[in-house]
Structure 1
Amino acid sequence: MPNIDFILPHWLYWGALIVFPLVAMVMSRRSRTTGYSLPIGYLVLVTGGILGLHRLYLRNMLGLIFIPIFFVILFANGQGRDAREVESQAANVVASAERVIDRLEPKVAGADAKIEKLRSDLAEAEEGTFAYIRAERTLEKAEADKVADTERLAAAQADLEAAQPDLVAATGQRDRWANVAYYAFLVLCALVAVDALLLPGLVRKAQERADQQDAHASPAEIAIDAVETEEVKHDMDHIGTGWTGAIDRLSYYAGEFVAYWAVIAVFAYYFEVMARYVFNSPTIWVHEGMFLMFGMQYLIAGAYAAMTEAHVRVDVFYAAWSPMRKALVDLFTSIFFFIFAGTLLVTGWIFAMDATVVDEVSFSEWQIAYWPFKWAIVVGAVLLILQGIAKLARDLMTVRNAMQGA
């Protein structure tokens, strides 16, 4: 299988985080249309064609043909990884044995001549002298080294003889499984290429089937579709009027903007899975980029969660209270909220300024700048404080109206 040596450019990463949500927000506000779309069909073909998702999108069961071939690729790559591990181990044994043999063969071959010379030096030395004792010890060491080196050389030669067949077999097995994966991938590419030409006709036929089903739709199914359409507008009910409504809309649009980042994560992790398990080319930037992206999403969406009251709250007693009592309790607990949000703003500002001054980057090969992510802490804190101010104003209004009504 070919390798994918692709590292996402920083400009493309930030461009996707900015442009994609804007396009998605515009498209979500268009009038809803039913049926199948040829552009979406080609999008699914490009992103998930080797899984046959484009045919499954069109409810064409021939898309199931792609899945077994895809699993052949996964199985072949798995077997290839196992063979590569065996090959690596055998190659290490061969390389280590060859190093030992290259080093010891000359040493063992010259050991006899060295020992004969040492014996001659020992015979010429006067017995009992320091020179005699030194020559005797040197001779004993040379003889012991010869025995040890001979044993190590024999062991290395045995290891080399045993590992070479394993290395050849593992290399052949790895190549065979690589060929299986490669040809299966070519089959999928051929099927995708054919479907790229057939897709307009497939979309047309799928639309004809959908039109026939809509003509026979029951009133209950039509009612369900209407309910699903109304649920889209539910979060807009939390938006107030006046200047507090402006803050609510800012929180709403900020939350909606970052919500579409989850769709980007789907594409990114899909690429990672394909690169890792199909092309044996795992990436670093996918996990790092999505980890940082979700961190920004968590921070910026905090104001949206506060506006829609989506944060976790123990409301065993709170839910049954009157609006007046809820407003009073919220006014008291807002003290702790603003302490938290203010601390988040101050510390976030310090972190962001430090990262900007030193131009802090990640330690991975991607080396993306960290300062935009740390400025997201500041943005999230500002949005959260603004939303807290809007909530505080509404609580004060509730208390004032209740007191005037009393």
Structure 2
Amino acid sequence: MPAWIVAFVRVVEGFNYYVGRMALYLFFALGGILLWSIIAKAFFRPPLWTQEMSQFTLVAYFMLGGAYSLQLGSNVRMDLLYQRWSPRRRAMIDIVTVFAMIAFLAIIIWGGLDSVIYALDVGERSRSVWRPYLAPVKIIIVTGALMMLLQSICFLIRDIAFLRGVEF
């Protein structure tokens, strides 16, 4: 493998690992938001922002941690036959099936970019009483999908290298 491809894989996987580890802490932020919601509803006036903010935090947790989850192999996989196959056959099947994932993520990014541009152009806001801007959460969705796309390309490169007898 050329050095620039190895460097690309290492940079992408290093970045996804770091962002994924940081995204883990969003779960604690989500817990704090929900805890505040419970306390405020019991003792004060119920806050208007906690439901949507918890949804936005969960989206960020899920999308920014997606590439990390892929990297660790924590994603859901149909294991009925996969575990019985040899590593070489798995790599061949993964090379074929990764294109479906790449196509799916490319469509999400393409549609998401249009949605982000629209949200930024018109200052799109939620229709709730709180009315937060939607551009930040849409940017996070597109960023997470881009990270998963890059991780999928790294998987493709690693599988091709494995079939050629090259180890990373």
Q: Report the TM-score when normalising by structure 1.
A: 0.38
- 2:146 pairs, out of 357, 372, 382, with 382
Cα RMSD after superposing both structures: 1.5
Task: Name the SS for the 1:361 alignment partner.
Answer: coil
Separation of aligned partners in 2, 1:246 and 1:331: 21
Task: Name the SS for the 2:165 alignment partner.
Answer: helix
Q: 1:316 deviation in Å?
A: 2.2
What's the CA shift string for 1:366-391, capped at 9, x where partnerless? 22110111111220121011101111
Percent identical: 27
What's the CA shift string for 1:54-92, capped at 9, x where partnerless? xxxxxxxxxxxxxxxxxxxxxxxxxxxxxxxxxxxxxxx
Q: For residue 251 of structure 1, what is the aligned residue in structure 2? A: 16
Q: 1:339 deviation in Å?
A: 0.8
State yes or no: 1:302 paired with 2:62: no
Separation of aligned partners in 2, 1:337 and 1:365: 37
Task: Name the SS for the 1:369 alignment partner.
Answer: coil
State yes or no: 1:362 paired with 2:126: yes
- 1:333 pairs, out of 97, 121, 124, with 97
Separation of aligned partners in 2, 1:339 and 1:397: 21
State yes or no: 1:268 paired with 2:33: yes
Q: For residue 42 of structure 2, what is the aligned residue in structure 1? A: 277
State the one-letter code of the partner of 1:355. Answer: A
Task: Name the SS for the 1:316 alignment partner.
Answer: helix
State the one-letter code of the partner of 1:366. Answer: W
- 2:155 pairs, out of 366, 386, 391, with 391
Task: Name the SS for the 2:40 alignment partner.
Answer: helix
Residue pair 2:59, 2:141 contacting (<8 A) in 1 also: no
Structure 1: segments with no counterpart, 5+ residues? 1-240
Q: 1:288 deviation in Å?
A: 0.8
- Structure 1's consecutive aligned runs of 4 or more residues displaced over 3 angstroms after TM superposition are none
Q: For residue 5 of structure 1, what is the aligned residue in structure 2? A: none
State the one-letter code of the partner of 1:333. Answer: T
State the one-letter code of the partner of 1:265. Answer: L
Q: Greater helix percent: which structure?
A: 1
Separation of aligned partners in 2, 1:381 and 1:359: 22
What's the CA shift string for 1:288-337, capped at 9, x where partnerless? 10111211221221111111111111112211222111100000101211
Residue pair 1:360, 1:370 contacting (<8 A) in 2 also: yes
Q: 1:273 deviation in Å?
A: 0.9
Alignment of 1:107-126 (within 5 A): none
Separation of aligned partners in 2, 1:297 and 1:262: 7
Separation of aligned partners in 2, 1:384 and 1:322: 26
Residue pair 1:323, 1:398 contacting (<8 A) in 2 also: no
What's the CA shift string for 1:251-303, capped at 9, x where partnerless? 11111111101111122111111111123x11120111011121122122111
Separation of aligned partners in 1, 2:39 and 2:63: 30
Residue pair 2:109, 2:146 contacting (<8 A) in 1 also: yes
Alignment of 1:97-116 (within 5 A): none
Separation of aligned partners in 2, 1:257 and 1:382: 17
RCO higher in structure (CA 8 A, sep ≥6): 2
Separation of aligned partners in 2, 1:265 and 1:294: 7
Q: Report the TM-score when normalising by structure 2.
A: 0.90
